[in-house]
Amino acid sequence: MATIGLRGVRKVFPGGSIALDQVDLDVADGELMVLVGPSGCGKSTLLRIIAGLEEPTAGTLYLDDEDATDFTPQQRQVAMVFQSFALYPHMTAADNIGFPLRVSGLPPEERHELVVESATALGVQELLERWPKQMSGGQRQRIAMGRALVRDPRILLLDEPLSNLDSGLRSELRAEISSTVRSSGITTVYVTHDQTEALTLADRIAVMRGGSIEDIGTPGRVYDKPATIFVAAFLGTPRINLFEAWVWNTVDSHVSLRIGEQTIALPWQDPRARQLAHYHGERVIVGVRAEALVSLAEPLPDCTIRGRVRYLEHHGHESLAFVDIGAAGIEIDLAPPPATKPKHFRHRPVTTMRGVWKRITGTQPAEPQDQPDSTLPATAGRHQKRSSGLVMRLPPNVQVSAGDTLNIGVRRELLHFFDLRGDRIDAGFR
Ligand SMILES: Nc1ncnc2c1ncn2[C@@H]1O[C@H](COP(=O)(O)OP(=O)(O)OP(=O)(O)O)[C@@H](O)[C@H]1O
Ligand SMILES: [Mg+2]
């Protein structure tokens, strides 16, 4: 039994940088909680506070409902694998794994037994006599995991444990970590900046930004109903399409969403139409992921937008089409600078969101053009290109070329709506 509770945790480093601001977090017994967010958002600091390697400026840490804020790292019985997992180079794999047991004074025979048991569980029993320099990155990572698990800690903290590995090995070890952690039933907090890793591993995800937790929930909930546009943009590839839309209520039938020169209608039967109706005559932000879009032979009324293909990206199993729909896109700054002032998330004024999203203006023609746009530099970064159009998936061998006009069917039930502060519009989703 091991639970973690953080209440109002704040960390201000000397010099005034606010690494964490009023963080509340509960991790259940045996849960695999993944902290995800861009570089500098405070993930490692939060982990180090749980481990007792960093002292919070304010707030309380509970372990098993007991106030553990002033416990030493040893009292907490927490094991941590660091961001740059370092093995002792002058020790064999066996000595590296057994090191925490030696420090705690366990006799050599018992130590050896536990080391072998731990190495066997991780499939590295043949490597026990090797030196770190004789092992691959993946093998060293397994030894580091063994060293963390050998003490049978009540909590396991993993700080980007796979970041030094290539992508093939990363997904292999990800599956191994997941099964090791789940079969041991150990309460685990796993830090990553990789959203795919977060979505595939977690029981629950906490998405962090600028020292705060912006959203928390199961991977499915956070992906399907992101609390803010930042969370919507952080999770998922290709990145969610975000457009500004004017809302207009047509009392007897539907709510219109005007995106550029085109309109999507939400019938009143859709419960979200009632929420959107409050924005009559105002702007909202519409989010639409690639999986909500489909190319149609003929337009369907009220849920089709037309666009011109700017270019295609072939990925083997699918192609991504970058389509101009003649509307202003919204670009999200996924790595805002760290906070130096406190933030108030629930009632933030519009101006505080200015650094987070901006409208792309001047890059979009009012109407789709007839000719492909040759002004886009070939070296333009992916992010730059994607943010100024709409991205959709097409089957791999589809007969579509740059310059073609598409009828794009929108699965309206998969649309996301945000207000201009970036908060999700549809009450009661949490
Ligand atoms: N010892 C320190 N002194 C001053 N500022 C620090 C210190 N450690 C971290 N910070 C700052 O606190 C913020 C959060 O840092 P932290 O290492 O927790 O981020 P992170 O989310 O783990 O980032 P990354 O993904 O790059 O590892 C950053 O702005 C960082 O510069
Ligand atoms: Mg870090």
Ligand nearest to the CA of 16: 1
Residue found under tokens 């100024």 = 388
* CA-proximal residue: ligand 1, atom 19 (nearest): 40
Residue 387 reports pLDDT greater than 60: no
* CA-proximal residue: ligand 1, atom 14 (nearest): 42
Select from 21, 34, 45, 47 the residue to mutate for testing ligand 1; criterion: most ligand atoms less than 8 Å from CB: 45
* CA-proximal residue: ligand 1, atom 28 (nearest): 40
* CA-proximal residue: ligand 1, atom 24 (nearest): 39
| Cβ of residue 363 lying under 6 Å from some atom of ligand 1 | no
User: 232-236, 272-276, 348-352: which has the minimum mean pLDDT?
Assistant: 348-352
Sign of CA dihedral 64, 204, 11, 149: positive
Ligand nearest to the CA of 159: 2
Residue 357 reports pLDDT greater than 90: no
Task: Say how many Å lie between the CA of residue 53 and the centre of ligand 2.
Answer: 14
CA angle (370, 374, 377) in 5-degree steps: 150
| Cβ of residue 228 lying under 6 Å from some atom of ligand 1 | no
Give me the residue spans of the domains in the chain. Answer: 4-234, 241-418
| Cβ of residue 210 lying under 6 Å from some atom of ligand 1 | no
User: 12-16, 175-179, 223-227, 414-418: which has the minimum mean pLDDT?
Assistant: 175-179
Q: Which 3 state secondary structure label does DSSP give 102?
A: helix
pLDDT at 427: 52
Give the C-alpha separation, 32 to 204, whole Å. 7
Q: Among 244, 223, 390, 384, which residue's Cα sits nearest to residue 304?
A: 390
8 Å CB contact between 4 and 189: yes
Residue 368 reports pLDDT greater than 70: no
Task: Say how many Å lie between the CA of residue 153 and the centre of ligand 2.
Answer: 22
Structure confidence at residue 373 as a pLDDT band (50, 70, 90):
very low
* CA-proximal residue: ligand 1, atom 27 (nearest): 39
Closest ligand 1 atom number to CA of residue 193: 25
- Name 57's Cβ contacts closer than 8 Å, sequence gap at least 6: 10, 11, 12
Give the C-alpha separation, 157 to 325, whole Å. 45
Across-strand partners of 18? 12
Give the C-alpha separation, 347 to 240, whole Å. 25
Closest ligand 1 atom number to CA of residue 191: 22
Give the C-alpha separation, 69 to 55, whole Å. 8
User: 6-20, 80-94, 349-363, 405-419: which has the minimum mean pLDDT?
Assistant: 349-363
Task: Say how many Å lie between the CA of residue 169 and the centre of ligand 1.
Answer: 27
Per residue in 180-227, pLDDT (tens digit) is 888 888 999 999 989 999 999 999 999 999 999 999 999 999 999 999
Select from 10, 12, 17 the residue to mutate for testing ligand 1; criterion: most ligand atoms less than 8 Å from CB: 17
User: 66-80, 371-385, 397-411: which has the minimum mean pLDDT?
Assistant: 371-385
First to last CA, the chain: 27
Give the C-alpha separation, 54 to 134, whole Å. 33
* Mean confidence (pLDDT) of the chain: 84
pLDDT at 159: 92
pLDDT at 336: 57
| 279 burial level (CB within 10 Å; 0-12, 13-18, 19+) | buried
pLDDT at 182: 87
* CA-proximal residue: ligand 1, atom 4 (nearest): 13
Give the C-alpha separation, 274 to 122, whole Å. 53
Residue 416 reports pLDDT greater than 50: yes
Task: Say how many Å lie between the CA of residue 54 and the centre of ligand 2.
Answer: 13
* DSSP class of 336: P
Residue spans of beta strands (DSSP E) within 152-203: 155-159, 187-192
- Name 152's Cβ contacts closer than 8 Å, sequence gap at least 6: none
Per residue in 239-258, pLDDT (tens digit) is 999 999 999 998 778 899 99
| Cβ of residue 11 lying under 6 Å from some atom of ligand 1 | no
Per residue in 106-143, pLDDT (tens digit) is 999 999 999 998 888 888 889 999 999 998 888 888 89
Residue 378 reports pLDDT greater than 60: no
Q: Which 3 state secondary structure label does DSSP give 104?
A: coil
Residue found under tokens 């958002």 = 41
Q: What's the CA dihedral at 21, 27, 32, 34 to 10 degrees?
A: -10
Other Cβ atoms closer than 10 A to 256: 19
* DSSP class of 415: -
Please compute the mean of the pLDDT values over residues 83-106 and round it to a whole number. 88
Buried b (16+ CB within 10 A) or exposed e, 72-98: eeeebebbbbbbebebeeeebbbbbbb
Structure confidence at residue 370 as a pLDDT band (50, 70, 90):
very low
Amino acid, res. 298: E
Give the C-alpha separation, 314 to 321, whole Å. 9
Task: Say how many Å lie between the CA of residue 44 and the centre of ligand 2.
Answer: 4
Give the C-alpha separation, 105 to 111, whole Å. 9
Please compute the mean of the pLDDT values over residues 410-428 and round it to a whole number. 88
Amino acid, res. 173: L
Distance of CA 394 to the CA centre of its chain: 25
Per residue in 158-185, pLDDT (tens digit) is 998 887 777 777 888 888 888 888 888 8
Give the C-alpha separation, 30 to 154, whole Å. 9
Task: Say how many Å lie between the CA of residue 146 and the centre of ligand 2.
Answer: 21
Residue 281 reports pLDDT greater than 70: yes
pLDDT at 74: 87
User: Under CATH, what is the fold of the domain 4-234?
Assistant: Rossmann fold (3.40.50)
Please compute the mean of the pLDDT values over residues 307-311 and round it to a whole number. 94
pLDDT at 364: 32
User: 5-19, 146-160, 198-212: which has the minimum mean pLDDT?
Assistant: 146-160
Residue 45 reports pLDDT greater than 50: yes
Pairing of strands 78-81, 155-159: parallel
Residue 355 reports pLDDT greater than 60: no
Q: Tell me what percent of the residues of the chain surpass a pLDDT of 90.
A: 59
Other Cβ atoms closer than 10 A to 228: 23
Classify residue 376 as left (phi > 0), alpha (psi -120 to 50) or beta.
beta
Please compute the mean of the pLDDT values over residues 49-74 and round it to a whole number. 96
| Cβ of residue 17 lying under 6 Å from some atom of ligand 1 | yes
